[in-house]
Amino acid sequence: MVRRSMNHIASLAPSLAAAFAEYDRAWPQEGGAGAMFLALLGDAEDPFARARLTGHFTASAWLVDGTGERLLMTHHRKLDRWLQLGGHADGDRDLAAVALREAEEESGLSDLVVLPEIFDLDRHWIPERGDVPGHWHYDVRYVVRATGSEDFVVSDESHALAWRGIVGLRDDPGLDPSIARMRTKWVSKHA
């Protein structure tokens, strides 16, 4: 394994490296998630490629309506759970752009705006499926806002989509823990 210096890592993606460090400063209670993502950024094997089966970057969208009171969620076809919209970087090193692209593709919405700051970081296990072994997703999450029509179209990647009241998500016992964490962040900033 090739070890890279912090300067070399920063030269690969200065804004992303700085964003991971800033995330740890902003959210110290999350135990250094940014440092874990920064370590992946410096890996010799391209962490933006889906083919890196030990783990790779993905990006997703905390897609809120114009009022910031509702979240668009997908009933994910492969994982059979209600989650945020998102997907693989597939070589794209601009993860905010990936989050925006995935939100557009999976919702059919066109008047979306992505905020450049990282909203949440989450490493989660993806189980084996077909000939793809189980692996880690290092998911970088961004706030995406709907600025026009909120009439979505369900894509092939979802069983369903639904706008859900963010405050009311606290009453959902089956809510994914990372969605609950993002809900708490959102409500604390927008109360």
Give per-residue pLDDT as tens, 54-71: 899 999 999 999 999 999
Task: Judge residue 71's burial from the number of C-beta atoms within 10 Å of its C-beta, 0-12 exposed, 13-18 middle, 19 or more buried.
Answer: buried
Tokens of 9: 């890592």
| Whole-number pLDDT of residue 101 | 95
Q: What is the CATH number of the domain that holds 123?
A: 3.90.79.10
Q: Are 183 and 170 in contact (CB under 8 A)?
A: yes
Instruction: Indicate the pTM of the whole model.
Output: 0.89
Structural domain contains residue 1: no
| Whole-number pLDDT of residue 6 | 37
Task: Judge residue 143's burial from the number of C-beta atoms within 10 Å of its C-beta, 0-12 exposed, 13-18 middle, 19 or more buried.
Answer: buried
Structural domain contains residue 53: yes
Task: Judge residue 40's burial from the number of C-beta atoms within 10 Å of its C-beta, 0-12 exposed, 13-18 middle, 19 or more buried.
Answer: buried
Q: Which H or E run includes 73?
A: strand 70-76
Could you give the 3-state DSSP secondary structure of residue 15? helix
| Whole-number pLDDT of residue 161 | 84
| Whole-number pLDDT of residue 18 | 95
Positions of the chain with pLDDT lower than 50, given as ranges: 1-12
Structural domain contains residue 108: yes
Task: Give CA–CA dist 50/98, Å, rounded.
Answer: 13
> Which of 72, 77, 83 is CA-nearest to residue 158?
77
92-106: pLDDT as tens digits: 999 999 999 999 999
Cα 60 from chain centroid (whole Å):
3
Please state the domain count of the chain.
1
> Which of 55, 57, 42 is CA-nearest to residue 121?
57
Structural domain contains residue 82: yes
User: Which structural domain, as residue segments, surrounds residue 100?
Assistant: 6-190
| Whole-number pLDDT of residue 79 | 67
Count the helix, strand and coil residues of the chain and give each as a percent rounded to the nearest 5. 35, 30, 35
